Amino acid sequence: MSERPVEIENDGAVRVLRMSRPERLNAINARMLEELTVGVKEIGRDRSVRCFILTGAPRADGRPCFSAGDDLKEAAAGGTPRGNPGLRLTNLIDDLLTPSIAVVDGVCTTGALELAMACDLRVVSETAQISDWHLARLGSGLGGWGASTRLARLVGVAQAKDIILTGKTIDGHEALRIGLAQRCCPSASLWDEALQMAHAVAGMQAQGVRATMAHLSRVADLSKEEALSFASQVQEWFPSGGTFEDAAKAVLERGADD
């Protein structure tokens, strides 16, 4: 059994937050929420972290697992923390200017899916078991941490209805097809694929990434004219430190070196 419910490690400029309660399928309890929140806040402060991964430790028997969602045993015993820290955490991940990648293998349901959807990108295994059982098990399909809102925005209202109203479980291929995931690969190569993706993100110009993240976080809510105007504002907030001409010269110089 892991001593702490969240394991933290670094791979260069990539930080990994790994949910680790293997004996409970990484179910999300109050302590895990607290440690995830502290970890995400630290990522927001640490400019050396250029991308972060959220994932889950394998089950006790070695089978892959993202998370079985909110710890219902703790909730039934009256251990639900006040003030909805799960919603604060998903919003914190959502608003972060450091890109995030959820790496999903095995079970990912309900509250765990809410955490994964708060991330910017999702890399899933072919055999992932993804579902939302808020309606089926808790009597409401809205979710306390943004389930129906984020799912509808990611895959469209009709697909969100299909997942929530039927309670079906989808695999990685289906998650990729409907736009819930951006990459799908065999379980054996999932981690390598995710790290390659994370390091590609981390290798981009830091200020440019922050500007892009700030713009893309709102572009879907704006008209084309508003989005174009907002892009100009964001460029002022996150200056690159050079002109377009300087950047063009640098590209040409690198090309000559190659």
* pLDDT in single tens digits along all 258 residues of the chain: 447 999 999 999 999 999 999 999 999 999 999 999 999 999 999 999 999 999 999 999 999 999 999 999 998 898 888 899 999 999 999 999 999 999 999 999 999 999 999 999 999 999 999 999 999 999 999 999 999 999 999 999 999 999 999 999 999 999 999 999 999 999 999 999 999 999 999 999 999 999 999 999 999 999 999 999 999 999 999 987 666 676 666 666 777 555
| φ and ψ at residue 199, rounded to 5 degrees | -70, -30
| Token representation of residue 66 | 């993202």
Same domain assignment for residues 157 and 231: no
> Which residues, 6+ apart, have CB-to-CB distance to 115 below 8 Å?
28, 36, 54, 67, 89, 90, 93, 102, 145
Which of the listed residues 202, 225, 249 is the one where a domain comes to its end?
A: 202
| Domain presence at residue 1 | no
| Same domain (yes/no): 76, 125 | yes
Q: Which pLDDT does position 2 carry in this prediction?
A: 47
Which residues make beta-bridge pairs with 70? 28
**Domain limits for position 34:** 6-202
DSSP state letter for 187: G
The predicted structure's pLDDT at residue 1: 42
**Strands of the sheet with 14-19, listed across from one edge:** 6-11, 14-19, 51-56, 100-104, 121-125, 183-185
Q: Domain tally for the chain?
A: 2
CA–CA distance, 136 with 221 (Å, rounded to integer):
30
Secondary element (H or E) of residue 34:
helix 30-45
- Supply the pLDDT for residue 251: 62
138, 219: one domain: no
| Residue 135 and residue 52 in one domain | yes
115 and 215 part of one domain: no
Environment class of residue 152 by beta-carbon count within 10 Å: exposed (0-12), middle (13-18) or buried (19+)?
A: middle
For the record, the structure tokens of 215 come out as 């713009």
Query: Exposed, middle or buried: residue 200 (CB in 10 Å: 0-12, 13-18, 19+)?
Result: exposed
Residues 129 and 35 placed together within one structural domain of the fold: yes
